[in-house]
C-alpha cells in the first residue's frame, strides 16, 4: 500500500518583515529571536491544524512555556515568556477555548500537498527540464549546421 503522506510548509509573504507587528518585534532588544521563535512555532503548528498542542488519545495537552523551550531548543524561558506576551498583544497568536495557543491567519500561512501530488509535480518539472534541454540541443545543432554551411 502506498504511503500517501501530506507535506506542509509555511508561506511568508515578501512583505513579512515590513509588516507593522513584525517590524515592532524586530525593533526590540531581542527582536530577531522573537521573530525566529514565531516562525518556529508556525512550523510546529503546520501538522497540527494551527494549534500549539499535543493530542494524546482524546486528551488535548496545550503547549506551555517549558514545552516550547524544550522543542525550540535555542531560546531560554525568559525569551519565550516575553515573546508569547508580544505575540498575543500584536495579534500573532491567540488562546482558544481549550487553552491552546493558535496561530492567527493560519490558513493564509500554511501550504500543503500529498505525496502523490508531490510526485506528479516533480515528474512534470523533470519533463519540462528535459523538454527545455531537447530544445536547447536542437538550437545548438541548428547553429552548428549553419556555421558549417557558411564555412563551405
SS (H, E, C) 8-58: EEECCCCCHHHCHHHHHHHHCCCHHHHHHHHHHHHHHHCCCCCEEEEEECC
Neighbours of 8 (CB within 10 A): 13
Which residues pair with residue 9 across a beta bridge?
111
Query: Which tens digits make up the pLDDT trace of 90-142?
Result: 999 999 888 889 988 877 777 766 666 566 667 777 777 666 555 555 666 66
Options 1.10.600.10, 1.10.10.10, 2.40.10.480, 1.25.40.10; CATH for 6-112 is 1.10.10.10
| Residue-wise pLDDT tens digits, 22-31 | 999 999 999 9
Tell me the pLDDT tens digit for each residue of 34-48.
Answer: 999 999 998 888 777
CB 48 within 8 A of CB 41: no
Q: C-alpha angle 75/79/81, rounded to 5°?
A: 120
* CA 113 to mean position of chain CA atoms: 13
- Full-model pTM: 0.69
H or E segment to which residue 139 belongs? helix 115-151
pLDDT digits (tens, 9 = 90+) for 52-84: 988 888 888 899 999 999 999 999 999 999 999
Amino acid at each position: 500500500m502506498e504511503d500517501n503522506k501530506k507535506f506542509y510548509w509555511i508561506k511568508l509573504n515578501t512583505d513579512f518583515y515590513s509588516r507593522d507587528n513584525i517590524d515592532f518585534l524586530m525593533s526590540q532588544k531581542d527582536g530577531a529571536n522573537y521573530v525566529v521563535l514565531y516562525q518556529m512555532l508556525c512550523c510546529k503548528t503546520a501538522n497540527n491544524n494551527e494549534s500549539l498542542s499535543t493530542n494524546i488519545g482524546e486528551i488535548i495537552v496545550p503547549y506551555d512555556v517549558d514545552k516550547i523551550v524544550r522543542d525550540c531548543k535555542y531560546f531560554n524561558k525568559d525569551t519565550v515568556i516575553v515573546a508569547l506576551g508580544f505575540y498575543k498583544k500584536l495579534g500573532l497568536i491567540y488562546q482558544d477555548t481549550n487553552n491552546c495557543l493558535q496561530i492567527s491567519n493560519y490558513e493564509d500561512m500554511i501550504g500543503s500537498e500529498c505525496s502523490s501530488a508531490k510526485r506528479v509535480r516533480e515528474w512534470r518539472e523533470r519533463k519540462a527540464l528535459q523538454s527545455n534541454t531537447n530544445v536547447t540541443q536542437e538550437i545548438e545543432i541548428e547553429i552548428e549546421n549553419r556555421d558549417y554551411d557558411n564555412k563551405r
